Amino acid sequence: MAEIKLYTTNWSADCLKAKRFLDDEGIFYDEVDIEHSPEAARVVESANDGRRIVPTFEINGTLFSLKPFDWKKLQLELERLGVEEE
């Protein structure tokens, strides 16, 4: 089973859309709010050339962001990384 971390903020509409998509697809993930975790904020900044771009996904060690959120691009990444619906 894939390990998925979703780096978010509570005010981002794109994060809400990403969570809704994953929930609707039955894909389990751990949500990490970067506003409450300096370590998570550093991970996001490192993955995005120093910028805090959310949502940022970490799937089995692969980091990428989707802003604006695009469910088709996320679906392609999930398939590429071998993530299946539960």
Supply the DSSP symbol for 82: T
Instruction: From 19, 22, 52, select the one nearest 37 (Cα to Cα).
Output: 52
Query: Between these two residues, 33 and 82, which has the higher pLDDT value?
Result: 33
Query: Between these two residues, 85 and 23, which has the higher pLDDT value?
Result: 23
Distance CA 64, CA 5 (A): 11
| Helix boundaries (H) for 1-86 | 13-24, 38-47, 71-80
pLDDT at 84 over 80: no
The structural architecture, per CATH, of the domain 4-80 is 3-Layer(aba) Sandwich (3.40)
Torsion angle defined by CA atoms of residues 54, 75, 25 and 36, in that order, rounded to the nearest 10 degrees: -10
Which pLDDT score, from 0 to 100, does residue 2 have?
75
Tens-digit pLDDT profile for residues 12-70: 999 999 999 999 999 999 999 999 999 999 999 999 999 999 999 999 899 999 999 99
